[in-house]
Structure 1
Amino acid sequence: MAVQSLYRRYRPQRFSELKGQEHVVRALKNAVANSREGHAYLFSGPRGTGKTTTARILAKVLNCENSKDGEPCCECGSCLAVQEGNSFDVIELDAASNNGVEDIREIIAAASLGSPGRHKVYILDEVHMLSKGASAALLKTLEEPPSHVVFVLATTDPEKVAETIRSRTQHLQFHLLPVDELEAHVRWVASDAGIDISDESIHAVLRQGGGSARDTLSALELAAATGGMVDEVTPVDEFVDALIEYDAGRLLAAVAHTVNFGRDPRTIVNDLVRHMRDAFLTQMAPELVQLPEDRATEVAAQAGRLGTPRIVKVIETLGLAINDMRNAPDSRVVLEVALVRLVHRELQMGIESLLARVERLEKELENRPQIAPAPVNPSTGRAVLGGRVAQDPSAPAVRPEPTPAAAPASTSAMSIAAVIENWNDGVIGELKGMRRAVALMAKPTERDGQLVLMVDNEPSAKRVNEYLSDLSTVIYKVAGGKCVIVVETRSEEPRAPKAKVVEEVAEEEFVDIEEIKQLPTVSNKATETNLADAFPGSEILAEDA
């Protein structure tokens, strides 16, 4: 024979045994004690908070032979029959599986029939699952039932219950149990059932229960079966630490571990959102946190490291991920993408992405080397673009300072000569990429026991100095030791400025118009004569010829 589960063995049998629902207990006990019970009730609230249990206690006290102050005696035949589940006065139906019109018509037809007790109680669980036709068929009987009939409707989603049904019932809302009261109940059950469990395991059981008495006792039973050890199905602390450190790889590894453990991605998101809500409450309203004191301290520390704005962002992103999972072929991919976006601001949508790009550009500008200003022509004072500045011949030639490489010891002239002789094969041939290109800019020479690398201009000298440490390694290898290396720019003869040609402008002369009129004119005939003299033997043809 199977062992009865803890939540069934320790199910409350009286109103006084209900935990965390004092407002419901007070309303029902006063109604029964004053004989003012209603003909229809609607119990709503999260799962495992006592809705069906309360409905059975109400059915028991309505037919109890020795009720006192609104409490059943739990000793008479009617009470024992209800406890054993074989009472003819209590009809319990699951509306999720009996949600058709015909099922409701059978209830209506049997409602008018008498029963052994004073009241016939119908308990319809998950009433929000009724079809529209079934809800419409129930309305008339629910509004005016026989005098001995009481309907108790239970649901976890009252918003889905038709408004016409809710208006015909007394609506009582059940709440999740406070953590301190639930912890005391768990410790009592563990002691009474002979379960040896540590405080750490009890706190893990409470976290898994989430305020639901039934879920908490189920987790306690599982802990007892595993020797008092409770494995966290969703390692929320691992996820939070990865978010704090912006570690995408750690987040994906946590997802893989949790999924392999048998957790659905949607459930993982729900667990994370629930934990983030607790973190949010520790910052905004600590008195609303339903966690043990030591656990609340840990969550508050996590919230302080994350920050309230980022906690809100995590909750919003995970909420959108839940909606995207509905139509996604693989919900795990949606979860992974959402988590990676939370640690990579560039991948986020909206203003966050723009802020991340602006910050990245600002850092690049801070780390970028300063660009030298454009050269200025000393003769004109204007910037010169795309070329060298012509020096003023009167200005003294300035030779750039040589840049010696750090080398403590010098080698012989023969070693430097070997470097110069083997520059193409021994030095350039050993280099690759940009270092090879930089070496091609320089021409090695020897002066005063130093290796001088001559380049054409200052930008080339700057580039050679940037890679001088890499070039030195190869040069020392060819030279057989260290030597002093100097980078210099070839000196150029100053260009003489072009002489500016200034045309002399003749002085303005007085022009006499009358004198111009008296000048001889040239006729067409004189022109023809000049052409014949210039080209002997030629013949002038008419234009129409």
Structure 2
Amino acid sequence: MAVQSLYRRYRPRRFDELKGQEHVVRALQNAVINHREGQAYLFSGPRGTGKTSTARILAKVLNCEEPENGEPCGICNSCGAIDSGNSYDVLELDAASNNGVENMRDLIERSSLGNPGRHRVFILDEVHMLSKPAEAALLKTLEEPPPHVVFVLATTDPQKVSETIRSRTQHLQFHLLPMHDLDEHVRWVIKDANLKVSEAAIAQVLTQGGGSARDTLSALELVAAGGGEADEQLSPDEFVEAIIDRDPGRALGATAAAIQRGADPRMLAEEIVRQLRECFLSLMAPDLVQLPEQRKTLVAEQARRMGASTVVRAIEVLGEILIEMRHAPDARLLIEVALVKLTSVNNANDNSSLIARIERLEAGITRDASAPMVRPAPINAATGKVQLGGKATVAVAAPSVGPLSDEQLVSQWSDVVSGFKALARAVFSAVSAVSCVDGVLTVSAPNDAHQRKAQEHVAAVEAQLSSITGRKITVAFNAPTARPSAAAPARAKAPVATDEQIAEAVFEDVDPSQLTSAPTTKSTTTTSVEDQLAKAFPGSKLVDKPKKK
């Protein structure tokens, strides 16, 4: 004789034995206590959550000879007959195999007959499998059943049940069991059945059960039959770690090992997606993760290392291949290509992979504050065009070697000048540093006109030099020297800014604060255009344009 399965042996027989369905128990018990039981119920929810067991308990309490606080006594003849499955008060039908009109007509005829108990309970399992004509035939009796008849419809897919049937029933939704309730139930079953199961095996059983009590007890029975130790099966963590490490070889090796052990490619992809979903929930809503504490901590760490964008992209890619696997000649090839795509983001060009690469760059690269920055070109709001001097330029950073000494200020004068603003840089590029003593920097201009032009920018230059050296610097000018005599030692001739250098600097970056308005009063003497340009650009030369032939 076959041994009774654990999920049948430990099937709930009272409302207080149901796990994780307190809202359903409360509703049914109150209805029984107050004698307001409904004429039709619709139980929906995932498999293994207690829908059929609850329907049987409801049938027992409705026909129990001595019910107590909405609970069946469990010892009367009616309760015993229902537990043994030979009660005339309860009729169970599988709608998957009794889904025709003739079956519904037979059920309607039986409902009009009498029965020994107070109520005749009809339990229709998998009611969503009824055909449309069968649903239509059942509607009238479901709406106006005989006074002693109660219908209990059970389904795992309530959206497939027609709206006309759902509107005639009281819809109670069953939930997956919380992980802590399922863990307590499994340990109680192990103790009551005198089983020897390791902690690792219990964790494996809870993971495989996925919140379903029947699936969990079936997995527990299989583990107990195998010696109470966890099976040597490939964990989806191997695939998640391969995605994190960007290791295509590891992912392909794990796929080959799993398929060699008999795993179906589609089931393997679904298992990886379930693992990724737990990672996704761990990032977005940690309270929704239904895993043991140790497992929950591991998944949270994996999710943190992957990042939200990588997790979402992995779920999308694997979800797409699950659809393609229906018609693919080789499902293994699809999952291998998908895993290589997920572990080699640099070779993919889709939007999600590009976003993932950008996020990795943002997380791994910090910008050097001393590096040159390209300033955007300013736009004139009135015309929508780039303003004068508005081309994008590179801002040259000041030397980042710390405060400069007097000697370094003189020796690195050309580098210091390169950090000035545009006009000051153009003018002082022809000015040479002679010496720097006690905060007084002596400079020399090539001529009087250039010196007068440079003196207009002394305040800005002194402020810039003070920020570089960390102390107050005053700029002093030497008198422009004439041609060196033969007796005097020859000194290197200071470079003079050319017309092109000054013009380029002016148009490169014009600071509006440095511009001055032209005088509005008319002068008594007429000044030529050449004289005005010579005054604006000291040291410039007039080049005659060739006449057109």
Q: TM-score with structure 1 length normalisation?
A: 0.64
AA aligned to 1:105 is R
Mapped to 2, the partners of 1:291 and 1:74 lie a distance apart of 35
**Higher Rg of the two aligned structures:** 1
Q: Return the offset for 1:354.
A: 5.9
Deviations 1:325-376 (A, max 9, x none): 22223333322222222122356463246679999xxxxxxxxxxxxxxxxx
The alignment's C-alpha RMSD in Å is 2.0
Q: What is the aligned partner in structure 2 of residue 507 from structure 1?
A: none
Mapped to 1, the partners of 2:356 and 2:191 lie a distance apart of 55
AA aligned to 1:41 is Y
Mapped to 2, the partners of 1:192 and 1:358 lie a distance apart of 56
Q: What is the aligned partner in structure 2 of residue 229 from structure 1?
A: 229
Mapped to 2, the partners of 1:158 and 1:56 lie a distance apart of 20
What is the 5 A alignment of 1:28-43? 28-43=28-43
AA aligned to 2:12 is P
* CA distance 1:343–1:79, change in 2 (3 Å): same
What is the 5 A alignment of 1:395-410? none
Q: What is the aligned partner in structure 1 of residue 291 from structure 2?
A: 291
What is the 5 A alignment of 1:207-286? 207-231=207-231, 233=233, 235-286=235-286
Deviations 1:102-152 (A, max 9, x none): 111111111111111111111111111111111111111111111111111
Indicate the SS of the match to 2:185: helix
Mapped to 1, the partners of 2:265 and 2:90 lie a distance apart of 40
What is the 5 A alignment of 1:4-83? 4-83=4-83
Mapped to 2, the partners of 1:357 and 1:79 lie a distance apart of 65
Q: What is the aligned partner in structure 1 of residue 192 from structure 2?
A: 192
Indicate the SS of the match to 1:326: coil
CA contact (8 A) 1:346 1:352 kept: no
Q: What is the aligned partner in structure 2 of residue 160 from structure 1?
A: 160
Indicate the SS of the match to 1:328: coil
* CA distance 1:6–1:356, change in 2 (3 Å): closer
Indicate the SS of the match to 1:113: coil
AA aligned to 1:351 is N
* CA distance 1:346–1:63, change in 2 (3 Å): same
CA contact (8 A) 2:313 2:352 kept: no
Q: What is the aligned partner in structure 2 of residue 114 from structure 1?
A: 114
CA contact (8 A) 1:52 1:154 kept: yes
* CA distance 1:259–1:129, change in 2 (3 Å): farther
CA contact (8 A) 2:280 2:312 kept: yes
* CA distance 1:136–1:263, change in 2 (3 Å): farther
AA aligned to 2:205 is V
Q: TM-score with structure 2 length normalisation?
A: 0.63
Gaps of at least 5 residues in structure 1 are 360-545
* CA distance 1:58–1:228, change in 2 (3 Å): same
Indicate the SS of the match to 1:150: strand
Q: What is the aligned partner in structure 2 of residue 129 from structure 1?
A: 129
Indicate the SS of the match to 2:47: coil
Indicate the SS of the match to 1:43: strand
Mapped to 2, the partners of 1:122 and 1:164 lie a distance apart of 19
Mapped to 2, the partners of 1:90 and 1:356 lie a distance apart of 59
Indicate the SS of the match to 1:319: helix
Indicate the SS of the match to 2:135: helix
Mapped to 1, the partners of 2:332 and 2:141 lie a distance apart of 47
Q: Return the offset for 1:164.
A: 0.9
Q: Return the offset for 1:260.
A: 3.0
Deviations 1:247-285 (A, max 9, x none): 222222222322333332222222212211111122222
CA contact (8 A) 1:234 1:263 kept: no
Q: Higher mean Cα deviation, 333-342 or 210-219?
A: 333-342
* CA distance 1:145–1:236, change in 2 (3 Å): same
Mapped to 2, the partners of 1:356 and 1:201 lie a distance apart of 37
AA aligned to 2:230 is V
